[in-house]
Amino acid sequence: MGKPWLLLLAGKQIDYPESKRYFKSVPTEGDLHTNSDVALHGARVINTFNHVIESMEDWQKACKLLQRLVDKHKNIHKVPAVTFQHMFQAFLGICQDIMGDELTNDMLVSWDKFFEAVYDEISVAYGRKRLL
């Protein structure tokens, strides 16, 4: 199996083809699993997830990370907030594909709670004024 972060971006563009219009500098056609630009963006997505997860005990820090993410996606890339929900669904789908039966119901519930908290903060951040 390929690198999971590549699957995340490639899967998102297959499951949500309307998301392709937001990727102006990242290819959206061809073999996305071998494209270095797709790999770089996918790695950034996973890295950001990781930083937010590491900051869960300091929610203000996590919110600052999410605000920077929102500022860039809302104000520069013009990506609607709902796109993050699509990404979360793609992420869970990849986890299910990779882990199969090892992905327990408890794990899914935990990821759902995490993504719900993150999306709630993203939604609030989309309502704030631009920080950049």
Residue-range definition of the domain harbouring residue 82? 4-127
pLDDT digits (tens, 9 = 90+) for 66-92: 999 999 889 888 888 988 888 888 888
**Does any domain span residue 110?**
yes
Answer yes or no: is 108 within a domain: yes
Domain count, the chain: 1
Is pLDDT of 103 > 90?
Answer: yes
Taking the C-alpha atoms of residue 109 and residue 112, their distance in angstroms, rounded to an integer, is: 5
Residue 85 lies in a domain: yes
Contacts 24+ apart (CB under 8 A), 94-101: 94/4, 94/7, 94/8, 94/11, 97/7, 98/1, 98/4
pTM: predicted TM-score of the whole model, two decimal places: 0.76
Domain annotation covers residue 132: no
Q: Give the pLDDT confidence of 23-69 residue by residue, as tens digits.
A: 665 555 666 666 677 777 777 888 888 999 999 999 999 999 999 99
Q: Is residue 55 part of a domain?
A: yes
Residue 121 domain-assigned (yes or no): yes
Provide the CATH number for the domain around residue 120: 1.10.490.10
